[in-house]
Structure 1
Amino acid sequence: MNSVVLALYGFAIFFMIFWLGMWIVHILAIIAARWKLHKKINKVSTYEVPLPGVSILKPLMGVDPNLYSNLETFFTMDYPLYELLFCVEDESDPVLMLVNKLIDKYQNVDTKLFIGGCCVGVNPKINNMQPAYESAKYELILISDSGIRMKEDTLLDMVNYMTDNVGLVHQLPFTYDRNGFSATFEKIYFGTVQSRIYLAADVLKINCHTGMSALIRKSLLDEVGGLKTFGTYLAEDFFYAKSLTDRGWKITVSSQPALQNCGNCEIHTFQARLKRWAKLRVAMVPTTILLEPLSECFVLGACASWSASLLFDWDSLVFYLIHILLWFMLDWTMLCVVQNNPLPINKLEFLFGWILSEATRPYLFLQAVLDPLIQWRSRVYKLKWGGVAEEVKAKVKY
């Protein structure tokens, strides 16, 4: 057997092992979802053991149709002690009028508004939040993106997971029910591939944290210089989570998923987010260049089908079709578990959205690798290996 044949068999064995590993990830994630998500909250505040106060940092920029209702859910939470710290970079931003309207409506809620930010790095989100972070009066900090919608007991659920050995509690990224195919497309992505990797990583204690809704111990950030320490990164959420795990602290996913409810929902803008996230992952974890495309359903199925044909003389087409069918069924199961309520879509809508999502992600990943610049709103950044970012002057595409 010559070297070429040996190499082919080596690749075939690798693809088959990787294929089996991805099915283990599928099953592990579904078990984790059923075990952990949507659990009943038992912890309540008592005189002897009061619930800790929470400072909620809300970085804002611009207004979308759902923003008012999203922000209002933070004023109506059933939690005894918290403050809302709104952060707005530009004093001419129309979001200020909206925030002031809510402050006037809910005068019983402890609220402060910070305008102008403070330049401590290249990350605009951290620059925007820095003054509020320095003024936060409670030990627990909740960093929450503008598009997040809260249930009355969401904050209580997150605090419930902040046990003595936990330094960070984050929510599984998901979406609130909205109308339209673009919303369906987003829900399918977050309820399938994102949930699968996120929950499996949580079980395996791998840092897969996204910062759209995260509860953190402020003292642990202060030990390394505070939030501004991570201003050199665009993926600040990954690096402050890494800072905690490197010091022996645990991070964990809470029971309730994060309900993203942005009012501007379009497929091309969401795909731009996917490409930006892919660029960040490649810069932070270079092995992503090889492993992430291989983990996609259609790509992995093709590789595994070729492997099965070579190793076991199985019909590659039949193997490929069965692979896609099983992947589809497990993704539908995962989405139903994460939703925990009747889905706003039927199986036919899911089929179309799922095929589009699975078919386009490898192409989007290739685009992300070939174009290293990251566009974030009106700014353009270049990433260095390790995730450090620098702002560059480039023509912004609209």
Structure 2
Amino acid sequence: MAPMIYTLYGFAIFFFIFWCGLWLLHLIAIVYGKWKLHNRDTLTPREVPYAGVSIIKPLVGVDPNLFVNLETFFTMNYPKYELLFCIENESDPAVMIVKKLLDKYPEVDSSLFIGGCEVGVNPKINNMQPGYACAKHEYILISDSGIRMKEDTLLDMMHHMRDDVALVHQLPFTCDRDGFAATFEKVFFGTVQARIYLAADLLRINCHTGMSALMRKQLLDDVGGLRAFGCYLAEDFFMAKSFTDRGWRICISSQPAWQNAGLCEVTSFQARLTRWAKLRVAMLPPTIILEPLSECMVIGMCASWAASLLFGWDSVVFYMIHILLWFLLDWILLSIVQNGALTFNKFDFVVAWMFRECSSPYLFLHALWDPTIRWRSRVFKLAWGGIAKELKSRIKY
């Protein structure tokens, strides 16, 4: 009987300490986010000339906001950059969109690459390879199709590229859009995602999503260029890892990445979250235990039981206070990341927040149940360590 009691107390102590650690992450994210994000001091004039940047834009298909999103890259306030648009299929309607912009802004150094180059299983790497091979500047910015830039976004990113930094990426966030799905996305990126990103940046932990990432090209070339990461689906994580393994730093810029996809649906976003969870599990197996425990509802139940066993506190009252405080801190963090008035009220936030917190454990279990990854018309399976194998080849016409 005694070993069982000791085991229960051991679990209770672990859960309570883990719970305290999550509150510390909350506070770190809020304080660091208030200092780091939307900091105009980062845009002080430089004495040295600005280095050139080659911006690679991999495109597949068209959504209603594609034209306006791409146009923001032609109007940036940066002295020297080139735009390299990469489209795998010549019949893709994105080709017409890009050609219209090339005609509209002939003064901007820009090129269109069609056809891709198969260097691995990663479709994004294959699509970008021709553009990367022709990039002429010392810095590479890989930017997803749904990203919207401000005039000074590239300036802000380059100001964070210090002598010891190899990669500057942006905190994922979303533009203001209407509808519950848009609110759901903004709540996710402005709370749980922002908390992880900000704490990881301060603690210098590799937590990188490559939707908008500025890198030193020479450091990529030293390990074989983009093609060296073609065997991974989470190429962004392994690019960052290759830098940190060589002693370089990665950091976030002060401006978030403004995702502005024209199509916004709850089911498609949940599929995206599930795919990310599958990648994390394959790359970092400890997330199988740690990630569910970091969720508000799960750790709240565990900590409530632990507090009842260790201190005799009322577990129901403890759980309700836990949820209320978590909710309030998430609202504060979201307001910091937004840096302005939110487009939805507190009731909308409550509904979206509860939906995210309650659905997240289910999505994670679904990711464990079905480890295959579906990416558009292709199906992949990940081995431990993140190396991908395609299970279903593309249909070629």
Any residues of structure 2 matched to 1:350-389 within 5 Å, and which? 350-389=349-388
Residues of 1 paired with 2:53 and 2:196: CA distance?
Answer: 29
User: Whole-Å Cα distance in 2 between the matches of residues 201 and 207 of structure 1?
Assistant: 7
Deviations 1:36-72 (A, max 9, x none): 00011434365xx210110000000000001110000
TM-score w.r.t. the length of structure 2 is 0.98
- Unaligned runs of at least 5 residues, structure 2: none
CA distance in 1, matches of 2:66, 2:356: 26
Query: How far, CA to CA, are the matches of 2:226 and 2:257 in structure 1?
Result: 22
Alignment match, 2:49: 50
After TM superposition, list the pairs within 5 Å mapping 1:211-290 onto structure 2: 211-290=210-289
Residue 173 of structure 2 aligns to a residue in which SS? strand
Contact in 1 for aligned 2:377/2:394 (Cα 8 Å): no
Q: Distance in 1 between matches of 2:143 and 2:365?
A: 30
Mapped partners of 1:64, 1:273: distance in 2: 17
Q: Which residue of 2 aligns with 1:22?
A: 22
Amino acid of the structure 2 residue aligned with 1:217: R
Q: Which amino acid aligns with 1:18?
A: F
Name the SS of the counterpart of 1:225 in structure 2.
coil
Cα drift, residue 395 of structure 1: 11
Structure-1 residue corresponding to 2:85:
86
Give the structure-1-normalised TM-score.
Answer: 0.98
2:197 paired residue number: 198
Secondary structure at 1:151 match in 2:
coil
Tell me, what secondary structure is at the counterpart of 1:392? strand
Q: 1:391 is matched with which residue?
A: 390
Secondary structure at 1:375's aligned position in 2?
strand
SS of the counterpart of 1:113? strand
Q: Supply the distance in 2 between the matched residues of 1:50 and 1:290 (Cα, whole angstroms).
A: 48
Q: Which residue identity lines up with residue 113 of structure 2 in the other structure?
A: F
For residue 381 of structure 2, what is the amino acid of its counterpart? K
Percent sequence identity is: 68
Corresponding residue for 1:299? 298
Query: Residue by residue, what CA displacement relative to the aligned partner does 1:204-232 show, whole Å, maximum 9, x if unpaired?
Result: 11100000000000000001011110000
Shift of residue 2, structure 1, vs aligned partner: 1.0
Matched AA of 2:111? K
Amino acid at match of 1:332: W
- Structure 1 residues 386-395 or 358-367, which shifts more? 386-395
Q: Could you list the runs of 5+ residues in structure 1 that have no partner in the other structure?
A: none
Distance across 2 between alignment mates of 1:108 and 1:50 = 21
Q: Which amino acid aligns with 1:35?
A: W
- Separation in structure 1 between the aligned mates of residue 181 and residue 34 of structure 2, nearest angstrom: 27
- Other-structure match for 1:182: 181
Contact in 2 for aligned 1:172/1:253 (Cα 8 Å): yes
Aligned mates of 1:42, 1:369 — CA distance in 2: 44
Q: Rate the CA distance shift 1:242–1:26 in 2: closer, same or farther, 3 A.
A: same
* Residue in 1 that maps onto 2:6: 6
**Match in the other structure for 1:310:** 309
